[in-house]
Structure 1
Amino acid sequence: MIKKGLTSLAVFFLYLVSLLPFWLLYLIADFLYVVIYYVVGYRRKVVQVNLLNSFPEKTEAERAAIEKKYFHYLADLLVETIKAITLSEKEIMRRMFLVNEDLVPNYFKQNRNVIIAVGHYGNWEWAVLRTSFICPQHRRTIIYKPLQDKAADAMYIKVRSKFGVTMVPMKATLRKMIEFRKELSLTVFASDQTPIREEAHFFTQFLNQPTAVFLGIEKISTLFNSVVIFADIRRVKRGYYRCTFVPLVDEPKQAAEYEITRAHVQYLEKVIREEPPYWLWSHRRWKFKPDNI
């Protein structure tokens, strides 16, 4: 009962914080940056190792600049994620500008299902919310990896699905896709989730190192003949983003084995290399190598 009470109190506190105006939230973010970077040093060693392995060609000073800018952005991302709790449709449409929204409806007109691959780059949470408004007459599904903290997981589900999308746990993907097979659907997958050791069956080069990758996008797109596109999210300025849908695979059944997986991984790497600070560098992405399996 005590834990449940504390959890409810924390959720209510986050709701109150989300009501604050953006200018005040970014002042809080500036303070958080100082705390997590200079005072706490949150996962700085993880970030430094990830950057060194990913960009060995860069100087130490260049990597240090990326690290610092990343942590400043991470603080912004934290308050923007909280703001998503109460962010309106109008604000989402204004702050996450979708360049070519007509791409998905055009595929639907061809009776084609669509898979969107999105990396943990830029504000992916706002991008997920933005997809809620694409063809609302059709099913829009978000494939997600449940959080270990049940209360936090429940809150994320509520926020992500508040505009009508269907949330599906990763392990239930195939079952749900079969259940929805008679409907035209738009399905969003995170393209850079880390498999657990027992499920790491495929490795590809990503940011200069062999990286375990889920094959879910490839398997589902091939099975249901779904077009695969990539959500290229770019930060325009503080609190504003531009998202462009980039077609990757039009005919998945004709693709060679692992071609689809390499396509979305390589495109994400391209985005990261162009603007490194906006990827989730504090994530322990490379927990193991092929020789550890």
Structure 2
Amino acid sequence: MRHIAYNAFLPLGTSLSLARLHALGNGIGKLIWAVLPSRRKETTVCMQERLGLDEREARAMAKASFQHSACSFLELFHARYMDHRFLEERIEYENPDLFVRMGSTLRPVVGVTGHLGCWELLGGVLKRFNTKTDCQVVARLPKDVALADLLMHMRTQSKIRVLPHREAATEALGKLRSGGLCAFLVDHNCKRAEAQFLPFLGKVAAVNKGPAILALRAKAEVWPFFLIRLPEGRFRAVTLPCLDTATLEGSRAERIEQICRFYTEAVEKMVLRYPEQWFWMHRRWKTRP
């Protein structure tokens, strides 16, 4: 039954323009804000504590975050339609020299980003400008099998293959060692056994060390990359300087911590720049040391 419902929604989602998807997302975000008072309060308090805002400022920003996140999830339906014209007309590039270097390097690349900005559209940007023939995106999928199948279908594109995170390690490492690119969302909470505990926005968080381990084993460059939403249907691609894991010193555990700290601080920097565009509803600090 769920497969039927999701498949019925698929043509509707893909038929809408980006502007209509954003209008729908804003409406859904407002609805979630209205019907989930406990999550609304939790997000507001979290923003007060992590950003030092007063209650009024935090509520306004939390509501904007609900709307933004809903838009970001719905952009999944537009990811396949990001052609060269769309990229040329709608996307500006901060640090374009770094973006070119990330796309043209012959080294293995671990791309890291977060649930910030327009993460579902990032694949469309990478596949158009990345010189590597096969890019992989490691994603956590929901327990709902029908919804997971829908997400896998929509995120898989030419040159972009989605790997469920529980099954990704061996294949991702093989691709990296052959000079490929593998991208990860690195700002989600994780189990204690998978975690490197590091400060994030002033509070210790469980940072998934899986991407760091793969980067270290493949001697990869770690590139932080984000797509930020701008007014009037425009976007800004932000590429930050990379970390070359082949140059790190120390024990294996120390090098893994250095890599985890690098991409955690990169996400933190962007959240502080664009706080309303981060997925604050996620319980980021749930797992404790």
TM-score range, shorter chain: 0.7 to 0.9
Please tell me the residue identity of whatever aligns with 2:242.
L
Pairing 1:7–2:26 present: no
Corresponding position of 1:274? 273
1:280, CA displacement in angstroms? Answer: 0.4
Counterpart of 2:157 in 1: which secondary structure? coil
The code of the aligned residue for 2:31 comes to V
Specify the alignment match of 2:241 in structure 1: 247
2:242 partner SS: strand
The aligned counterpart of 1:103 is 101
Counterpart selection for 1:209 from 198, 203, 213: 203
Deviation at 1:176, TM superposition (A): 0.9
Shift of 1:22: 3.3
TM-score by length of 2: 0.86
CA distance in 2, matches of 1:79, 1:167: 18
Change (3 A) 1:166 1:78: closer
Return the structure number with greater helix share: 2
Letter in 2 for 1:131: L
Deviation at 1:181, TM superposition (A): 5.3
Task: Give the SS at the match of 1:213.
Answer: strand
CA distance in 1 between counterparts of 2:48 and 2:108 reads 39
User: Residue 105 of structure 1: CA displacement?
Assistant: 4.1
The equivalent of 1:167 in structure 2 is: 162
Question: Is the Cα contact below 8 Å between 1:248 and 1:263 reproduced in 2?
Answer: no
In structure 1, distance between residues paired with 2:140 and 2:70: 23
Secondary structure of the structure 2 residue equivalent to 1:229: strand
Counterparts of 1:288 and 1:43 in 2: how far apart (Å)? Answer: 18
* Alignment correspondent of 1:195: 190
1:155 counterpart SS class: helix
Q: What are the superposed Cα offsets for residues 87-111 of structure 1, whole Å, 9 maximum, x if unpaired?
A: 3434652445455342124421xxx
Q: Aligned pair in 2 of structure 1 residues 174, 21: CA closer, same or farther (>3 Å)?
A: closer
Alpha-carbon separation, structure 2, partners of 1:135 and 1:28? 31
Q: Deviations over 1:227-269 (max 9, x none)?
A: 1110033222243221122123124452451111111101111
Moved more, 36-45 or 215-224: 36-45
- Amino acid paired to 1:107: T
The farther-off stretch of 268-277 and 233-242 is 233-242
> What is the aligned residue count?
280
Provide Cα deviations, 1:8-44, integer angstroms capped at 9, x if missing partner.
2322323223212234333333432332223454721
Mapped to 1, the partners of 2:225 and 2:168 lie a distance apart of 20
1:30, 1:165 → 2: CA distance? 28
In 1, the alpha carbon distance for the partners of 2:243 and 2:169 equals 20
Alignment of 1:42-191 (within 5 A): 43-55=39-51, 57-84=52-79, 87-90=81-84, 93-94=87-88, 95-99=90-94, 100=96, 101-108=99-106, 112-135=107-130, 137-180=132-175, 183-191=178-186
| Separation (CA, whole Å) in 2 of partners of 1:135 and 1:25 | 27
1:12 counterpart letter in structure 2: A
Tell me how large the CA RMSD over aligned residues is: 2.4
Which residue of 1 is the match for residue 213 of structure 2? 219
What is the DSSP-based 3-state SS (H/G/I as helix, E as strand, rest coil) of the residue aligned with 1:148?
A: coil
CA distance in 2, matches of 1:29, 1:105: 31
Q: Which runs of 5+ in 1 are unaligned?
A: none
Matched, 1:25 2:21: yes
**CA deviations over 1:212-241 (Å, ceiling 9, x no partner):** 011122211111110111003322224322
Q: Aligned in 2, Cα 1:43/1:14: closer, same or farther, shift over 3 Å?
A: farther
Aligned 8 A contact 2:188 2:282 in 1: no
Counterparts of 1:194 and 1:145, CA distance in 2: 11
Q: Distance in 2 between matches of 1:42 and 1:117?
A: 31
Residues 27 and 50 of structure 1: is their aligned pair in 2 closer, same or farther, counting only changes over 3 Å?
same
Counterpart Cα distance in 2 of 1:262 and 1:64: 30
Query: Conserved in 2, the CA contact under 8 Å of 1:133 and 1:163?
Result: no
Task: State whether residues 231 and 246 of structure 1, in contact with CA within 8 Å, keep that contact through their aligned partners in structure 2.
Answer: yes
Structure-2 residue corresponding to 1:261: 260
TM-score for both structures, normalised by structure 1: 0.85
| Structure 1 stretch displaced more, 27-36 or 118-127 | 27-36
